[in-house]
Structure 1
Amino acid sequence: MAPRRTAPHTQDRPLSLIEQARRDQLIQITIDLVSEYGYAATSLTRIAQTAGITKGAVLYHFASKDAVVAAAHERVLGLLVADVEAAIAAVPADRAPAAYVRRMVGHLAERPGHTRMLVGAITNGDVPDPSVRWKPLAALLQEARRARGLGPGPDPRTLAIIVGGAIDGIIGEHMRDPGYDAPAAAEALITMLETTLFA
């Protein structure tokens, strides 16, 4: 009996270009399927059928459905974080909270499939620590006040949670009604934030 080939996800070797291309394809298919059908209806069978390969071929690249969904979530989250970080890096510290809000709303409104993937992860309980969402913004808020020579001000955690909830609300409304002006809503949120933050 021939030895069973070990899948790349269990090996400590670099992936070939073909393996990496297949993994990228499976990740993109998973993002599209979760966006269209939701987490529960995105099965390994559906991923395989969409890719035109067998379920076993999917399992060659990923250990389970959870593994391919986690890779898809990581890809979407990584793109969001990189986009927002670039926007923040391009402005002075006292303007970082406004850049954060604009880019978060812009990125999520421009990529509804990615937004559904991120919402699905939260709904599915795949974001174990809620502070991952509010801590970076809380730090930006504190730094913005320091950059303007202001003292501690309002509780940054509470303010970050409120701003995060407002962004979620704006994006939720935009997803429900694509005609809703998400950029204008982001500007209104920035005005409220700056009034509270720098008062």
Structure 2
Amino acid sequence: MARDRGGRPPTLTEQARRAQLIEVAIEQVAEHGYARTSLSRLADGAGITKAAVLYHFPSRDAVLEAAHAHALAALVRAVGAAVDAADPAAKPAAYARAMIGHLREHPRHTRMLIEAMTDTDAEHAPEARWRPLAALLDAAVRARGGAETDSRTAAIAIGGAIDAIVAERLRDPGYDTAAAAEVLAAMIDRWTS
């Protein structure tokens, strides 16, 4: 649990305010973008002063980093639960379905994740995304008795397909990402057979 500047654990009220500021940050980034989400917008969105925001977070960037971490953690939890529930041969397809489904159901989180990746100086290691999926693909191929293949390239391609499907949904809210996830899952199943 985070401690305040005095070294004591935050009160329930302080925890609730921090959670509110994280949600406001996600909303503001989704609406205005990372660069245009100012300390004033965060304060106005939460109905508090800028000084009150700075009581809970040391800076605007700290609020946005916490919001990014929150959105990413929610995605990881949802995808992890879906993958854990699937048998080894079905884990890669479960990964794709869960990624697309979670991002469809949480468009503000999607915007937060995209904005944080494109509008910050933070480095994002590509292998952090493709390596876990490549391991799932390798395990699925083994579970189905298939021959070893280039799982790295497949994981990168699947990640790109997921990104394209999600981006299309952001561009066209009527795009059926559930159907697209099923098409991608079928392609993954053929690849791992």
Give the alignment's TM-score, normalised by structure 1.
0.91
2:176 alignment counterpart: 181
Q: Show the 5 A alignment for 1:73-84.
A: 73-84=68-79
The verdict on how the C-alpha distance between 1:184 and 1:50 changes in structure 2, with shifts beyond 3 A counting, is: same
Deviation of the 1:122 alpha carbon: 1.1
Higher-Rg structure is 1
Which of 124, 127, 131 is the matching residue for 1:128?
124
Q: Does 1:102 align with 2:97?
A: yes
Q: For residue 159 of structure 1, give the secondary structure of its aligned residue in structure 2.
A: helix
Paired residues in the alignment total 190
Could you list the structure 1 runs, at least 4 aligned residues long, displaced by more than 6 angstroms after superposition. Answer: none
1:197 alignment counterpart: 192
Q: Does 1:146 align with 2:118?
A: no
CA distance in 1, matches of 2:134, 2:119: 25
Deviation of the 1:127 alpha carbon: 4.5
Q: Does 1:162 align with 2:137?
A: no
Deviation of the 1:196 alpha carbon: 2.1
CA distance in 1, matches of 2:182, 2:160: 15
CA distance in 2, matches of 1:27, 1:73: 9
Deviation of the 1:112 alpha carbon: 0.8
CA distance in 2, matches of 1:53, 1:186: 41
2:63 alignment counterpart: 68
**Does structure 2 retain, via aligned residues, the 8 Å contact 1:121–1:127?**
no
1:4 alignment counterpart: none
1:5 alignment counterpart: none
Deviation of the 1:10 alpha carbon: 3.6
Give the alignment's TM-score, normalised by structure 2.
0.94
The verdict on how the C-alpha distance between 1:44 and 1:186 changes in structure 2, with shifts beyond 3 A counting, is: same
The verdict on how the C-alpha distance between 1:133 and 1:9 changes in structure 2, with shifts beyond 3 A counting, is: farther
**Alpha-carbon deviations, 1:75-106, whole Å to 9, x = none?**
11111110111111111011001111111111
Identity of counterpart residues, as a percentage? 54
CA distance in 1, matches of 2:138, 2:96: 15
**Does structure 2 retain, via aligned residues, the 8 Å contact 1:94–1:143?**
yes
CA distance in 1, matches of 2:6, 2:92: 42
The verdict on how the C-alpha distance between 1:56 and 1:157 changes in structure 2, with shifts beyond 3 A counting, is: same
CA distance in 2, matches of 1:183, 1:127: 31
